[in-house]
Structure 1
Amino acid sequence: MKKFEYARFLTLALSAGLAAPLPVLAADAPDAANAKSYAVRIPVTPAPDAPLQRLLLPAEALVRLQSPAYADLRIFNAAGQPVPMALASVPTPTSTQEHSVKLPAYPILGTEGAAAAGLEGLSLRIEERQGKRVVQLNTGGTTTGTAAPQKVLGALLDARKLKEPVAGMTLDADLPVGQPVTFNVQASKDLKSWRPLADTVLYRADASASAASLGDTRLDLSMADLKDHYLRISWGSAAVTVRGATLLTSQSTAVRQRVSATMATPALTNAHELVFALPFATPVAALRITPQGSNVLVPIRVLGRKHREQPWALLASSVVYRLGAAGKEQSSGPVDLQGASVREVKIEADAKTPGFAAAPEITLQFEPAQLVFLASGQGPFTLAAGQASAAAAFLPMASLIPNYQASQENALPLAQADVAKADVTGGGLAGPLVAGSPQGDGLPTRSLVLWGILLLGVLALAGMAWGLLKQTKKTD
């Protein structure tokens, strides 16, 4: 009877041990308020005499974050206290480039009567005369110039090939001395219907002067779109010679400066497959993949996943290349990943190509971000990043900045992060910022730890059962 009760006890003990939750060690939960528990600590030099300021996040911090929402970011003062802060994006700066385009002028010929009536309501036609292009007034009757002598009534510019908006125009013209001349500029697509663009009055006071002495020589065209348009310049009956005009085109481009981080070249699995792990959770904006060698072109697919139990998901398809011609080398641009947050990346080369002869060079790119913080307490201040258990501590921007208005944080003074003096847990900053470790084989580390703890628990229960069995035999 005693042996039956013991066997029942042993069965219940083993069942309870397997069903019990695994113990959580206190060492696995670091203190989020302790700067030393973070993966990297970077000194911050605040701007002088500014309580509120902003800090651009360096790549050294981005490649160590363990939260895709940047929750494991802190700024500590000298007393080890986290200061109030808010997370903000970085605005995209725009740059304006102006280019000058010179257009020749084609004379508009007409009779004295057309000059007196003006050019309003009259259409034009372009003719070739002795290898030169001239423009005739089309009055709906016979060709002008056969019944009466012709004179130059204006000038025509062909602006149909302009693709960029036009900011202004400067005339190349000879003006009469002591006579104000009014220039009118109009635009048309069909040489029939004209719309006004600009006008100006120029005056040449001295015969020795080659240009206008008074008046604005640059006509403002207010960023007019002149693609597929003609320009007509008229000046009445004044004795003016217009040889051409210089148009100033303007193009505004948005320049997004991403934060780049170098990566150690991972091992090539085979010529068509490259797999590596990322030690951070920060969303990746793009990958710059540059093949090794010269004159290499490879169509690729980039896939990613957050852990090994997940299937691979397609992130992007592109063509990477490195081509050289006439002593100049061209390489492909970044492959956009749309801010994917993954822990493993696989680059697949098209099977119809030879693939990669060697592992390509890889650079990670992140969208820029900044912290707005209150420099409370005494310095020095420290930016800390990288702790899996840290919860987000960001405040709303309206709580941090009194009477907050949109984008007001971008006018705050800029603090500087001294990455050269960064303190990194487990190593320094020498070499590439990202190790680019290969994908491991077998079970993930988390699963191995859980199975190990479970096995230790079973062995402990078995030892207890063996001791009870020996004690029961002695009693019997």
Structure 2
Amino acid sequence: MIFFIRLAMLSLFCLSNAAMAAEPGRNDFAYGLELAVDNNGAIYKALLPESVYRGVSRFDLADLRVFNAQGEMVPHAVRRLPVRTPSTAAASWTVPFFPLYRNDAESSEKLALQITTSSTGALVDVRRQDTAPTPEVVNAYLLDCSASSRPVARLLLAWQPAGDSFVTTVRVESSEDLNVWQPLVNKATLAELRSADHQMGQYAIELPGRKIKYLKISWPAGEKQVLLTAVKAVEVAEVQAQPRQWTEIAGSLIPEEPGIFVFDTQGCRPVDQTVLKLPEANTLIEGVLSSRSTEANAWQSRGRGVFYRMEVQEARLESEPLILPVSSDRFWRLQVLPASGNGLGVGQPRLRLGWVPHELVFLARGQGPFLLAYGSAQLPKETPASASVDLFSRLEKEGGIVGHARPAGNQFDLGGAELLTPPAPPLPWEKWLLWSVLVSGVAGVGAMAWQLFRQMNQATPGNDMRK
């Protein structure tokens, strides 16, 4: 009995060691991409292409490896990039502005300019030469941006309430001496729209992002004038924006659930922004966006907002991107709230997903070309996703030669798409062996107890009485 128990325990130990998976090879993954490198660096970096997010089976990208030309796996790490590199935030300042008037008989403005320089910059005072009382309207504004030597990225405008909705277009010109003016923005849209309890608008004018001294904002004859109350200039921030990618997915209406649309993104991109594209013009809705990783999971709310698409004359106004916590979920859902009235109208919405790709970092061990292999539901769940991200960061800081890699060509098959199907659950040999040991132990104890009982009965004095 003791021999049998020891044999069972030895078998269990051997089985657990045999279950340890060997290092996966390139054909243990569904797809591959060849990586082209730019020099003989020791460390290479590459942004993951969208095909990787569609081809992996794990949301943590743990089914991804890098191999050299000899088929050897090389150390790698996958890390999230910050949306913006930490640096100086964009500054803004209030811009002095002066209205330019024009009456019906004038074809151009006649200005007498008096420029006074102070410690805060040049202030411009604009007066008309002809001061005769004539019907006048504001048809332009002169802006003094000389207080800063930094390039200007955009203007933020505030104006007197119009009372009702309006959309207008303006033109922006720049000058260094107030005499010669150059076109800067030929057409920019300003708008303020009201619908029920919601108000939306376009209050910013995007500029090319260069140093500007003076600006003139004007609008064509017949366009609605804007009576400004404040103007701010926003500098070009000293930050390096990471390359953002976008994917647009068509929605599907759930027949049994009115106002519910679902979107299958066919991947696990790290989404942090969404834009809802409405099917019809002049539509405004309020809705909730949710997501989940699989169809078996419950929906998790990601954000709520007002989405609109307005078209007036030649101007088009759409809702801004909705900023969300990063989510790698595959399935998304839009719930149109009942307060939205008639809803979306005719057609299906489309959802644009914005994300910043992960960065792949790997050591150039062995000969190239290097292969990025990904997509496998066959790897053990406890398989580590990658080497330490901190280790690569330390190597970079200590002077490791860093090169850049990029996909060379399209995705190709390695082991094939069948590797994305999870394997059948393994037979619970360990559990069976454990129960066998326990049952055998109980049986052994019972056998020993029975044998001892028999021996005790045979040794009872009453059984050996002599007459």
- Give the structure-1-normalised TM-score: 0.49
Structure with larger Rg: 1
- Give the structure-2-normalised TM-score: 0.49
